[in-house]
Amino acid sequence: MSASGSGETAGFPRTGRPPTSKAEYVHETLRHEIVNGVHPPGSSVNQDEVATRLGVSITPVREALRRLESDGLVTYRAHHGATVSALGVEAAEELRLLRASVEGLSARLAAQRITEGQLAELTAVHDRMVAAARDSADSQELARDSHLFHQMVADIGGPALLGGHVRSLRRNNPILETVSRWKDPARVRLYLDAHGEMLRAFAQGDAEEAERLMAEHILASPGEDADR
């Protein structure tokens, strides 16, 4: 579909607003496709194919690929073009440890700062996930709500710095939704139980317990699939 159409290619989610430029349109479309495994790690991204498919010239495609390179999602080499990046084993482990530290701290602070209204909103997300799991919902829906749950905790605990840091970590190191651990029914209950225990710690204002639960929750998830 061309950029002059509805602004949505197959599988491209509506953002609630039109792209501000063709380059943004291409960037968000390719980003969505990469995260959803349309372009798996190690695969090349053909600029001419993308331009033709999205109905734009080669210039916004090149600009979008430069942004994706800055995001860490593709690597670009002269005469070889763009290739979808793969998160190496060491990088994945560092990311897991970093997330455990940063999100653990945000959970500690959230337990000290959370309001009744914020706790109610966080509980509503958890309850929605429990109902979705009971109804065998799409794993991507569960993954998205899990992402929301964690980001809400980070924003509550660290509105000045930590929330933005967690958002940046996730955005620049996305986990493919197609390999999400939320696709594994055996893990869904473990993840939901961990979220429920965190909610109890928040309700009790138990900062130490909230930090411990969040860190253990992330570290218990293997490798780059942590909590997704």
Residue 4 has pLDDT above 50, yes or no: no
pLDDT at 174: 63
* Percent of the chain whose pLDDT exceeds 90: 53
Report the Cα–Cα distance between both ends of the chain, in Å, rounded. 30
Nearest to 129 by CA among 188, 201, 203: 188
What is the Cα gyration radius of the chain? Answer: 19
Name the percent of the chain lying above pLDDT 70. 82
pLDDT 10s digits, 91-127: 778 888 999 999 999 999 999 999 999 999 999 999 9
What are the strands, taking DSSP E only, across the chain? 44-45, 74-77, 81-84
Average pLDDT score over residue span 158-162? 96
Rounded Cα gap, residues 218 and 194, in angstroms: 10
pLDDT for position 184: 80
The reply to whether the predicted model has a pTM over 0.75 is: no
The residue to which tokens 């991507």 are assigned: 140
Instruction: Give CA 48 to chain center in angstroms.
Output: 28
96/182: higher pLDDT: 96
- Token readout for 2 is 């061309």
| Tens-digit pLDDT profile for residues 30-39 | 988 887 778 8
Tokens 């999100």 sit on residue: 103
Q: Of residues 5 and 77, which shows the higher confidence score?
A: 77
Task: Give the pLDDT score at 180.
Answer: 59
Q: Quote the pLDDT of residue 42.
A: 83
Is there a contact between 35 and 177 (Cβ–Cβ < 8 Å)?
A: yes
Residue 86 token pair: 């793969």
